[in-house]
Amino acid sequence: MGIAKEKFGKMETGEEIYLFTLRNKNGVEARITNFGAAIVNLFVPDKDGKAEDIVLGFDKLEDYFNNPSFFGAVIGPNANRIGGAAFELEGKEYHLSVNDGPNNLHSDIDNGYHKRPWTVEEEGENSLTLALEGKDGDLGFPGNKKVTVTYALTDDNELKLHYKATGDRNTLINLTNHTYFNLAGHDSGSIEGQLLKLNASCYTPVLPGAIPTGEIAPVAGTPLDFTQMKEIGKEIGADWEQLKLVQGYDHNLVLDEADGSMREVAEARDPKSGRRMKVFSDLPGMQFYAGNCIVKQDGKGGVTYMPRTGFCLETQYFPDNVHHPEFSQAVFGPDRVYETETIYQFV
């Protein structure tokens, strides 16, 4: 079906920012901007063939300049949290933005990859490759690096996100996409009645500040047990310390069968519309965030977004892995290229 391109707005520097539309033969349509490499719209048909936009976001580029909830964007160079906003690598200490209590969240709130214009590297038949370059010391991280993300939409209703990063020094690379899904439509209110299954029999418990303890604990017998399909809201208000620490679900799941191969890691359903989404990844972890802390704000079409009007399934290396040698390490450089893929498929 090809790729369409239109102007989305301008940076304060005058640089034009674009909106790219990928379409397939089944009526699925993804709109992506090169600002923050963000998914702005994702239209998916329901059981009756009616397509609705199922991701939270904004109609205007200027709203993405603020974007306090990171709607749709690619997060980098390091997603999630680093305890104490500092880390040591190869004998040297690096200091990051202190932006989440005493910790670092998503690299940098104002200057992270989600707040930058990406270069359009390639426009394919139904794919888009965006690129970003970071200099040594950028945001506190070592190494000159080049990062690309390729979005591709297939006729099997797969939205594929392929990430790659190369650099001249070992550094931390842990990219993710922060799209908030609402399978009933972005304007339909709470996601608590939607169903979720996570192929994760363990999770990483957190301390106050949402920093992992280092433990890998079973989900069995806890509200985080989504090994069978259940409503997101069923146990979200349970009297459980882990939920209270982060106001609901905002936890890293230890994905089953994490051997670096692509496999199904999650499935979500909306009973009313009949929409189903499967998630595939080759990564060891995934942050399930139920949108507990979405700030009340105006989104697309004047819709007011509130807490729990969208959920995120952010594939990743575990949070704060640099401080936990027992976790898979997200250290990449000249001898270890970062390359990973996540697929959201609508079935």
Provide the annotated active-site residues: 178, 314
**168 vs 333: CA distance, rounded Å:** 6
Report angle CA 289, 230, 178 to the nearest 5 degrees. 20
Strands (E), 24-170: 29-33, 39-45, 51-53, 74-75, 81-82, 86-89, 92-95, 104-105, 119-123, 127-134, 145-153, 158-167
Q: What is the DSSP letter of 62?
A: H
Sign of dihedral through CA atoms 220, 221, 226, 229?
positive
**237 vs 50: CA distance, rounded Å:** 33
Given a contact cutoff of 8 angstroms between Cβ atoms, the answer to whether 1 and 126 are in contact is: yes
**20 vs 226: CA distance, rounded Å:** 35
**42 vs 267: CA distance, rounded Å:** 17
